[in-house]
């Protein structure tokens, strides 16, 4: 029996007979192979099993259900239990609310399910089902009139009627993903399970009526709130309504939803930590990563980790093993150094800069550090634990990491406060001057970073400045005077940021009268300008950002931070008055002084935004490029200049400003290219089109309002003195600033210098 089984004939010829095209007896081996003394080999045969109709239908149903779940997560479909039974459509009229839209969807899905239940396979692939389901009942209605936009604007509490274009795409700004009780605070309902928030044009882009739910819906697993000072305030209801009114574009909420989704998804982990920890690198690799961190990492220059102390302990750990590895804080600290170092080394080893691979491999070491987070926060620890948490926050500041820095730096801060780092040590503490300086340096490092995150997110700070008594250090831990000066300027700006948030953005500050807000804006403006003018020339730069002649230990990113933080803070201070939704009723203010300040603030915001956009040409995106440089400030400049164009679409500078928006959109394309397309932001591509639409609409109707109120007599010119943007860039064609040519970095703008703004309004005593 065994012999018969082994010599069973095959259903195909052997490879030799097939190649020679001769008859094969299908034996093993066959006669031809025996004669030719060649190895007889048969290709493996895979038998296809015939699937039953029930199995086919089951698989199709599963695929359809998974697709529906993804669409519902994207805000494009809702479950049947969310649809009321009331309301009928007449004839083929296009539905005017989300519920009727869902009825069409539900009916078509049920029809397809009935078809599947009969055992008949559909005459199309499931990939074709979705666009068919959504467009089948509306294609016959494209020629019919639809609800006027003005009617929907008169009823802000109701969903706006969906508008269909000739491609069958529905862009219905029903309710943005940021729903808020105020113009400034937004609740994000992310698309957590959809990789690309923008769908193909063949699919129907409709937001679910579920998005109109209250912002504090506890059933939502991922709700992230940003304050009015955040760039995400553009996604609030008030701003979307304002932008839609001026552009006539009804897809604003859909695009804003994509921005909120991209940002929200990046704020949390979406997969559990790997249970298997990354092994310790071998000694040579460990030293290589350590050297890369201390010599090339951006945040190593802040001296959060003292190099000599770290290397001494690492040497002991390598030589004696587990004797020195029992401390969770030390385990986290060295692994976050490995994460920094491996990200730099792996990226440099690839000729083209394998950005994605560098992020992936370095993340494994960061997971090691994050695995002991509980021990760092809740077990007995020393100052090293706060160092490790701060270093971990610095690591995820990189553009390729999940944005966990808000929680990490908050934990580091609480740990530092619990150990008294915010207080100046008394003599009876018996701490050496060296140790006091290190403690103060660590606390002010945490302070600066926490204030920066609070400022850019609009969230409350966890630090009360009145509780701090420790001094700002004047000597760096390694004795480098240049680093000490740069650190001092970093802290001083963080203190100004704290004042901006406290006096303009907090709930209490928003209760001020318009006159009080104007005085606050003037005072903060003077304080910020005085800080920037007092920075030594070696520690700041004009455009283009200086890359040579830098002090020892100072990098271009440090100059970029001073530049971006100055103009970003200017925009933040004056945007409170520049944009009408920040202070309700301010547009109707009849006080001439307030009206003049509103126009002046609008101009300051625009000038600051132009500076930020021009500086993007100096940005290099590598494996550790920080988010504040590659994402936050460029987006802030783009959004503010866009809003300025919408507010004053008839200004002479509008064509050049649109060109600058194209330029920053090109920068984001360059950023996407450098990150191996891992980071994409479709929202920025829409802004330039909206700006053009607003200008065309305003000029077509001749209804644009141009500010013609003269500035106060004591107000110096707030425009950038050395640059006339219109005459400097007015002769450039659109191609010079286009998206496609940006990655090549062919210079299309003149080198600009001396971009400072000198002087502004007088006002009350500074804060």
pLDDT above 70 for 714:
no
Is the domain of 86 the same as that of 225?
Answer: yes
Q: 638-650 burial, b if ≥16 CB within 10 A, otherwise e?
A: bbbbbbbbbbbbe
The helix or strand, by DSSP H or E, that contains position 178, with its residue range, turns out to be strand 178-179
**pLDDT confidence of 411, banded at 50, 70, 90?**
very high
Cβ-contact 38, 17 below 8 angstroms = no
Average pLDDT over residues 596-610: 94
The least confident of 106-120, 219-233, 407-421, 430-444 is: 106-120
Is the domain of 527 the same as that of 401?
Answer: no
Going by their DSSP bridges, the two strands 163-164 and 178-179 should be labelled as unpaired
Given this model, what pLDDT does residue 11 score? 64
Is the domain of 76 the same as that of 7?
Answer: no
Most confident of 229-243, 541-555, 721-735: 541-555
Assigned domain for 276 exists? no
Given this model, what pLDDT does residue 216 score? 40
**pLDDT confidence of 122, banded at 50, 70, 90?**
very low
Structure tokens at 482: 């240049």
User: Of 265, 294, 318, which residue constitutes the final position of a domain?
Assistant: 265
pLDDT above 60 for 292:
yes
User: Of 451, 483, 498, which residue constitutes the final position of a domain?
Assistant: 451
Is the domain of 236 the same as that of 362?
Answer: no
Given this model, what pLDDT does residue 368 score? 94
Most confident of 317-326, 490-499, 708-717, 719-728: 490-499
**How long is the chain?**
767
The least confident of 272-281, 291-300, 359-368 is: 272-281
Is the domain of 358 the same as that of 416?
Answer: yes
Assigned domain for 625 exists? yes
Tell which phi-psi region holds residue 531, choosing left (phi > 0), alpha (psi between -120 and 50) or beta.
Answer: alpha
List the domain range (segments joined by +) for residue 202.
53-265
Given this model, what pLDDT does residue 520 score? 95
Higher-pLDDT residue of 262 and 248 is 248
**pLDDT confidence of 622, banded at 50, 70, 90?**
confident
Given this model, what pLDDT does residue 353 score? 60
Assigned domain for 759 exists? no
Higher-pLDDT residue of 407 and 230 is 407
**pLDDT confidence of 94, banded at 50, 70, 90?**
very low
User: Of 230, 265, 300, which residue constitutes the final position of a domain?
Assistant: 265
pLDDT, one tens digit per residue, over 506-517 is 889 888 888 999
Given this model, what pLDDT does residue 722 score? 39
Say whether 712 sits in a helix, a strand or coil: coil
pLDDT, one tens digit per residue, over 57-74 is 888 888 888 887 777 665
**pLDDT confidence of 310, banded at 50, 70, 90?**
very high
pLDDT above 70 for 37:
yes
Is the domain of 251 the same as that of 398?
Answer: no
The secondary structure of residue 625, as a DSSP letter, is -
Is the domain of 559 the same as that of 653?
Answer: yes
Is the domain of 120 the same as that of 230?
Answer: yes
pLDDT above 70 for 84:
no
Is the domain of 293 the same as that of 261?
Answer: no
**pLDDT confidence of 709, banded at 50, 70, 90?**
very low
Is the domain of 104 the same as that of 152?
Answer: yes
Cβ-contact 35, 70 below 8 angstroms = no
**pLDDT confidence of 143, banded at 50, 70, 90?**
very low
Average pLDDT over residues 461-483: 92
**pLDDT confidence of 47, banded at 50, 70, 90?**
low
Assigned domain for 42 exists? no
Q: CA 169, CA 76: separation in Å to the nearest integer?
A: 12
Is the domain of 235 the same as that of 295?
Answer: no
**pLDDT confidence of 150, banded at 50, 70, 90?**
very low
178 forms beta bridges with 188
Assigned domain for 371 exists? yes
Given this model, what pLDDT does residue 717 score? 40
The helix or strand, by DSSP H or E, that contains position 225, with its residue range, turns out to be strand 224-226
Read off φ and ψ for residue 196, nearest 5 degrees: -120, 110
Given this model, what pLDDT does residue 69 score? 72
Is the domain of 324 the same as that of 386?
Answer: yes
Which class for 86: exposed (0-12), middle (13-18), buried (19 or more C-beta within 10 A)? Answer: exposed
Domains in the chain: how many in total? 4
Assigned domain for 764 exists? no
Average pLDDT over residues 343-352: 82
Percent of the chain with pLDDT over 70: 68
pLDDT above 70 for 27:
yes
In three-state form (DSSP H/G/I as H, E/B as E, the rest C), the secondary structure along 139-172 is: HHHCCCCCCCHHHHHCCCCCCCCCEECCCCCEEE
pLDDT above 90 for 444:
yes
Given this model, what pLDDT does residue 275 score? 82
Assigned domain for 761 exists? no
626 forms beta bridges with 398
Which class for 148: exposed (0-12), middle (13-18), buried (19 or more C-beta within 10 A)? Answer: exposed
Higher-pLDDT residue of 747 and 422 is 422
**pLDDT confidence of 579, banded at 50, 70, 90?**
confident
Q: What is the pTM of this model?
A: 0.65
Assigned domain for 132 exists? yes
Say whether 226 sits in a helix, a strand or coil: strand
Given this model, what pLDDT does residue 256 score? 80
Given this model, what pLDDT does residue 700 score? 74
Most confident of 53-67, 570-584, 669-683: 570-584
List C-alpha distances in Å: 196 to 176, 191, 262, 516, 678. 17, 9, 9, 45, 11
The helix or strand, by DSSP H or E, that contains position 398, with its residue range, turns out to be none
Higher-pLDDT residue of 397 and 741 is 397
User: How many CB atoms lie under 10 A from the CB of residue 112?
Assistant: 18
**pLDDT confidence of 561, banded at 50, 70, 90?**
very high
The whole-chain average pLDDT of the chain stands at: 74
């Amino acid at each position: 029996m065994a012999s018969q089984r082994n010599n069973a004939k095959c259903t195909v010829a052997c490879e030799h007979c097939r190649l020679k095209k001769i008859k094969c007896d299908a034996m093993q081996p066959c006669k031809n192979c025996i004669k030719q003394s060649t190895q007889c080999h048969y290709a493996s045969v895979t038998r296809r099993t015939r699937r039953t109709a029930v199995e086919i239908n089951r698989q199709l149903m599963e695929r359809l259900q998974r697709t529906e779940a993804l669409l519902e997560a994207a805000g494009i479909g809702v479950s049947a239990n969310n649809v009321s039974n009331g309301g009928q459509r007449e004839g083929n009229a296009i539905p005017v609310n989300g519920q009727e839209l869902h009825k069409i969807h539900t009916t078509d899905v049920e029809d397809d399910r009935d078809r599947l239940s009969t055992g008949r396979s559909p005459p199309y692939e499931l990939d074709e089902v979705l666009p068919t389901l959504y467009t089948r009942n509306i294609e016959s209605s494209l020629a019919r009139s639809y609800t006027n936009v003005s009617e929907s604007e008169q009823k802000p509490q109701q969903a706006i009627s969906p508008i269909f274009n000739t491609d069958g795409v529905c862009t219905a700004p029903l309710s943005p993903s940021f729903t808020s009780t105020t113009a400034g605070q937004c609740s994000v309902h992310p698309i957590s399970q959809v990789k690309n928030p923008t769908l193909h044009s063949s699919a129907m882009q409709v937001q679910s009526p579920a998005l109109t739910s209250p912002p504090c819906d506890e059933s939502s697993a991922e709700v992230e709130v940003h304050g009015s000072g955040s760039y995400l305030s553009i996604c609030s209801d008030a701003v979307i309504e304002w932008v839609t009114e001026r552009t006539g574009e009804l897809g604003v909420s859909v695009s804003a939803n994509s921005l909120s989704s991209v940002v929200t998804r990046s704020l949390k982990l979406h997969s559990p930590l790997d249970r298997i920890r990354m092994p310790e690198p071998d000694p040579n690799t460990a030293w290589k990563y350590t050297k890369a961190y201390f010599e090339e990492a951006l945040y190593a220059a802040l001296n959060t980790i003292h190099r000599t102390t770290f290397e001494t302990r690492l040497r002991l750990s390598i030589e004696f093993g587990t004797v020195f590895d029992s401390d969770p804080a030390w385990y986290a600290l060295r692994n976050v150094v490995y994460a920094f170092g491996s990200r730099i080394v792996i990226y440099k080893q690839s000729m083209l800069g394998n950005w994605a691979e560098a992020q992936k491999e370095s993340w494994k070491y960061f997971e090691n550090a994050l695995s002991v987070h509980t021990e760092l926060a809740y077990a007995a620890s020393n100052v090293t634990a706060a160092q490790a948490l701060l270093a971990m926050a610095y690591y995820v500041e990189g553009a390729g990491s999940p944005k966990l820095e808000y929680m990490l730096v908050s934990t580091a801060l609480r740990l530092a406060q619990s150990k008294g780092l915010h207080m100046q040590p008394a003599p009876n503490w018996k701490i050496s001057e060296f140790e006091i300086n290190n403690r103060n340096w660590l606390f002010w490092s945490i302070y600066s970073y926490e204030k920066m995150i609070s400022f850019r997110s609009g969230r409350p700070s966890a630090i009360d400045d009145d509780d701090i008594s420790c001094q700002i250090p004047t000597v760096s831990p390694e004795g480098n005077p240049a680093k000490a000066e740069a650190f001092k300027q970093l802290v001083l700006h963080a203190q100004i940021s704290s004042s901006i948030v406290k006096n303009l953005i907090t709930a209490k500050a928003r209760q001020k009268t318009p006159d009080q807000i104007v005085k606050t804006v003037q005072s903060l403006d003077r304080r910020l300008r005085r800080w920037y003018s007092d920075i030594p020339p070696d520690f700041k730069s004009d455009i283009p950002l200086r890359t040579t002649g830098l002090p020892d230990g100072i990098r271009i990113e440090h100059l970029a931070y001073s530049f971006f933080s100055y103009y970003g803070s200017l925009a933040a201070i004056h945007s409170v008055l520049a944009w009408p939704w920040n202070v309700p009723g301010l547009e109707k203010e009849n006080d001439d002084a307030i009206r003049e300040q509103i126009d002046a603030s609008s101009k300051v915001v625009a000038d600051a935004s132009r500076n930020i956009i021009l500086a993007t040409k100096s940005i290099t995106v590598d494996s550790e490029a920080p988010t504040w440089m590659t994402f936050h400030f460029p987006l802030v400049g783009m959004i503010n200049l866009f809003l300025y164009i919408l507010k004053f679409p008839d200004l002479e500078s509008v064509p050049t400003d649109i060109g600058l928006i194209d330029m920053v959109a090109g920068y984001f394309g360059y950023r996407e290219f450098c990150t191996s397309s891992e980071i994409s932001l479709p929202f920025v591509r829409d802004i330039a089109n909206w700006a053009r639409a607003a200008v065309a609409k305003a000029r077509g109707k001749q209804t644009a309002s141009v500010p013609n109120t003269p500035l106060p007599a004591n107000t110096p010119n707030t425009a950038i003195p050395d640059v006339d943007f219109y005459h400097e860039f007015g002769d450039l064609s659109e191609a010079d600033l286009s998206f496609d040519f940006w990655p090549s970095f062919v210079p299309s703008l003149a080198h600009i210098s001396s971009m400072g703004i000198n002087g502004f309004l007088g006002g009350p005593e500074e804060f």
